[in-house]
Amino acid sequence: MARIKFLPKIAECPLCKSAVKLDPVQYMSQQMHDDSKPEYSPKGQLIMLCEKQNSPKNHERIYQRVMSTNPQDSEVWSLLADYLVRQNRLAEAEDLFKKSLKIKPKDPLVLNQFGNCLFKQKRIEDAIVVFNEAIQVNPKIVHPWLGLGTALLNKDKLKEAEKCYRKSIDLTPYGWYPTWFQLGWCLYRQKKLKEAEEAYLKSLRIRPGDLSATFHLGRIYFEQNRLREAEKMFHVVLRSLPNNRETQDFLNRIRTTNR
Ligand SMILES: [Zn+2]
């Protein structure tokens, strides 16, 4: 019998040159199903994996060294700012995004990251301004549409948010998980259950087995009184997250309804 070997794959971090272990399955499924995540470009993915596996401080030191030797390189400023966002050091990150934008104003990708940083600090109005600015510079980049949609959703501006998500979907013909998932949530909140169902199904086609989308789909079936289908979805979630309270509650409600 042929033996199939799954060799652990090792890659080199493009930043600090440390060895990074790849999870081939995870790496491949991301490559296959998510077609447009510049922040998760193969290079970016390796940098993030390296930060999880090795000391992230190495990266900080490298960025700072390059910044001191090459202070006019706005990209290094925003890379370090991104790193700080990942470390949840948001105030420091904000400062660096501003500096990066001073060197190279109106860089739409940096504006987008800056908007995300403001959103994470719950400064939603400020984030909306910055996402809009990024869209003005280049309306063909998908990320600021997603960011703007989510900020508007946060402000309960559901119809405006839906427009932004649909815009970002138009820009990603092969499908991008976050926009379909967020659109599903936005439609659900407008009580457009049928359309929300389609959006979650679409997001599951892009990222099969995703537990969040599966749970939301279950809830939509539940609310439409499609209890068999709902039950199936909730069982899928519990198989991976056996202690998930919300899912257990739904299953209990289905059981009591059936009695
Ligand atoms: Zn590294």
- DSSP run (H or E) holding 100: helix 90-103
113 in a domain, yes or no?
A: yes
Task: Determine the distance separating the centroid of ligand 1 and the alpha carbon of 87, expressed in angstroms.
Answer: 14
Task: Determine the distance separating the centroid of ligand 1 and the alpha carbon of 224, expressed in angstroms.
Answer: 49
Task: Determine the distance separating the centroid of ligand 1 and the alpha carbon of 79, expressed in angstroms.
Answer: 13
Task: Determine the distance separating the centroid of ligand 1 and the alpha carbon of 80, expressed in angstroms.
Answer: 13
- DSSP run (H or E) holding 227: helix 227-240
61 in a domain, yes or no?
A: yes
Spatial CA neighbour of 56 closest among 99, 11, 97, 18: 18
Residue 250 has what pLDDT?
Answer: 97
Spatial CA neighbour of 165 closest among 146, 152, 143, 137: 146
Do 185 and 113 belong together in one domain?
A: yes
Tell me the two tokens of residue 79: 């890379």
Residue 25 has what pLDDT?
Answer: 47
Spatial CA neighbour of 193 closest among 168, 165, 216, 160: 216
32 in a domain, yes or no?
A: no
Task: Determine the distance separating the centroid of ligand 1 and the alpha carbon of 13, expressed in angstroms.
Answer: 5
CA distance 80 to 87: 10
Do 176 and 138 belong together in one domain?
A: yes
CA distance 120 to 136: 22
Site of tokens 């892009």: 206
In contact, 83 and 50? CB cutoff 8 Å: no
Which of residues 162, 191, 220 is at a domain's end?
191
CA distance 186 to 169: 14
Which of residues 65, 85, 104 is at a domain's end?
104
Task: Determine the distance separating the centroid of ligand 1 and the alpha carbon of 97, expressed in angstroms.
Answer: 21
The CATH number for 58's domain is: 1.25.40.10
Task: Determine the distance separating the centroid of ligand 1 and the alpha carbon of 17, expressed in angstroms.
Answer: 6
Do 135 and 186 belong together in one domain?
A: yes
Task: Return per-residue pLDDT of the chain as tens, 259 residues.
Answer: 444 455 568 889 888 999 998 865 444 434 433 444 444 567 777 888 898 898 889 999 998 898 888 888 888 888 889 899 989 999 999 999 998 899 988 999 899 999 999 999 999 999 999 999 999 999 999 999 999 999 999 999 999 999 999 999 999 888 888 999 999 999 999 999 999 999 999 999 998 989 999 999 999 999 999 999 999 999 999 999 999 999 999 999 999 986 5
CA distance 178 to 182: 6
Task: Determine the distance separating the centroid of ligand 1 and the alpha carbon of 145, expressed in angstroms.
Answer: 30
27 in a domain, yes or no?
A: no
Host domain of residue 166: 106-191
8 in a domain, yes or no?
A: no
CA distance 181 to 183: 5
Do 131 and 58 belong together in one domain?
A: no
CA distance 229 to 227: 5
Residue 7 has what pLDDT?
Answer: 54
Residues 6+ apart with CB under 8 A from 212: 181
Ligand 1 is an ion; residues with CB less than 5 A from it: 13, 15-16, 18, 50
Task: Determine the distance separating the centroid of ligand 1 and the alpha carbon of 36, expressed in angstroms.
Answer: 23
18 in a domain, yes or no?
A: no
Task: Determine the distance separating the centroid of ligand 1 and the alpha carbon of 14, expressed in angstroms.
Answer: 7
- DSSP run (H or E) holding 185: helix 177-189
Do 95 and 148 belong together in one domain?
A: no
Residues 6+ apart with CB under 8 A from 53: 18, 20, 21
The model's pTM: 0.82
Task: Determine the distance separating the centroid of ligand 1 and the alpha carbon of 60, expressed in angstroms.
Answer: 10
Q: Return the number of other C-beta atoms located less than 10 Å from residue 161's C-beta.
A: 25
Site of tokens 């994996």: 49
141 in a domain, yes or no?
A: yes
Do 222 and 180 belong together in one domain?
A: no
98 in a domain, yes or no?
A: yes
Task: Determine the distance separating the centroid of ligand 1 and the alpha carbon of 11, expressed in angstroms.
Answer: 10
Number of domains forming the structure of the chain: 3
